[in-house]
Structure 1
Amino acid sequence: MAKNIIVTGTSRGIGFELVQLLSKQGHNVLALSRNCKPVNNLNISNVTAFDCDISEEIQLKKVTTFIEENWKQVDVLINNAGSIVNKPFAEISMKEVEDVYRVNVIGVFALTQLVLPHMPKNGHVVTISSMGGVQGSMKFPGLSAYSSSKAAVITLTELLAEEYKETGPSFNVLALGAVQTEMLEEAFPGYKAPTTPEEMAAYIAEFSLNANKFYNGKLLQVSNSTP
């Protein structure tokens, strides 16, 4: 049965692959990113894409309008958008820290808050985190803003699962290891990851559609390598 699915961070990498995969499976997809051109160029009938910076409250109003006018209900929300800065701790400006947190934490907070009233009990909110945000995992110098922001959404997921355990939906978080995306190349130039965006998108799509039957408030480490 076709579901209504929102995916963020869809201009490239895993998000771009997710849009294609989920739409091919017959689902209706709302693709949100700062640059909607890559998705709109695909010209897929069951996909809607518009420019939306999830860290800007005023832009999120477009999402509310779209849901109320077109879908009424959202079955799955995939918080995939991410921002990264790789700099020694002593050199990171507060503006850079704030920019990372606005996308990786506040954007997730704001969009989830906005979508929840439209989600059924069996809905599923999946947030994409990173192994760098997992306590006790290997850490990398230069990623203090990024990895700490990814830790924040792990705890947020656990809190939301508790707060909504009676009414639903379910909330889970995936901490990804290295995937060969443009973002990885920016953070670790020259590093070659063992996992492609297509492979990871297939895993996330399957998890988003079915795992809420088995998990709620859980962190799953989706990693076969270091970093």
Structure 2
Amino acid sequence: MKNIIITGTSRGIGLEMVSILSGMGHNVLALSRNSEPVKKLALKNVNAFSFDITEEDSHLRTERFIEEHWDSKVDILVNNAGALLNKPFKETRTDEFRQVFEVNFFGVVSVTRRLLKFMNKDSHVVNISSMGGIQGSMKFAGLAAYSSSKGALLTLTELLAEEFKENGPSFNALALGAVQTEMLEEAFPGYQAPVTAKEMAEYIANFSLTGHKLYNAKILQVSNSTP
């Protein structure tokens, strides 16, 4: 039984992952601003509370939970929370650009830094990025803030893996292609992806449990299509 933290669990891939990992018998802490979708599932070994990745109080509450309920141990962290802005660059205000980075990049920095003290050599941090953040991949107008924040996350993953390679945890990133989620619909209205949220959640769940045995500092492109 692993102690697993997942951010961004109110819908899509994150919500599906909670069900999958709970079904495998693991302890799951589901973190999202809207905790109701997870609570309504009433899953075994799952805890959820409202969590804002940009707020200090949310991080403190998470730390207290780990100390009180998990004996100060985290085996897996899946940084899945994400914010999307689909807007022409010339119309995007600096504060809007910054808001996307606060969730997609600085939020990951905050969560990871605060939870490192609960991890060890065998722990695994999985950062969920996007094909839009891969250098040389197809890019789409209107996604400047989103894709650039996901590109920054990929570089961060490599740097942290190097910094903690002696004593862990392992750090890997998955750059996802088109998955049929609410966020995809917001970015590309009407597009039908060939991969469902559940199918991708199953892949990520299994990778989070075993990927660090074979990989560290790796950027894996998990995509069979892009819009």
TM-score (structure 1 length as normaliser): 0.98
Structure 1 unaligned segments of length 5 or more: list them: none
Q: Which amino acid aligns with 2:147?
A: S
Q: CA deviation at 1:60?
A: 1.0
- 2:130 is matched with which residue? 130
* Residues 1-54 of structure 1 deviation map (CA, whole Å, 9 limit, x = unaligned): x10000000000000000000000000000000000000001113000000011
Give me the whole-angstrom Cα distance separating, in 2, the residues matched to 1:184 and 1:166: 38
Aligned: 1:9 with 2:47? no
C-alpha distance in 2, partners of 1:21/1:53? 23
Structure 2: state its 5+ residue gaps. none
Q: 2:111 and 2:99 mapped to 1: Cα distance?
A: 16
Aligned counterparts of 1:135 and 1:100: Cα–Cα separation in 2: 19
Partner in structure 1 of residue 176 of structure 2: 176
The residue aligned with 1:43 is: 42
Written as runs of structure 1 = structure 2, the 5 A alignment for 1:168-207 is 168-207=168-207
- Structure 1: which amino acid aligns with 2:222? V
Deviation, structure 1 residue 56: 1.3
What CA RMSD, in Å, does the superposition of the two structures yield over aligned residues?
0.6
> CA separation in 2, counterparts of 1:151 and 1:15?
20
Output the TM-score relative to the length of structure 2: 0.98
Question: Which residue identity is paired with 2:30?
Answer: A
Aligned counterparts of 1:34 and 1:96: Cα–Cα separation in 2: 19
SS in 1 for 2:84: coil
- Structure 1 residues 77-226: aligned runs within 5 Å: 77-226=77-226
TM superposition shift of 1:58:
2.4
- SS of match in other structure, 1:55: coil
How many equivalent pairs are there? 226
Cα distance in 2 between the residues matched to 1:173 and 1:120: 18
Q: Distance in 2 between matches of 1:137 and 1:223?
A: 11
Tell me the amino acid that sits aligned with residue 13 of structure 1: G
Task: Find runs of 4+ consecutive structure 1 residues off by over 4 angstroms.
Answer: none
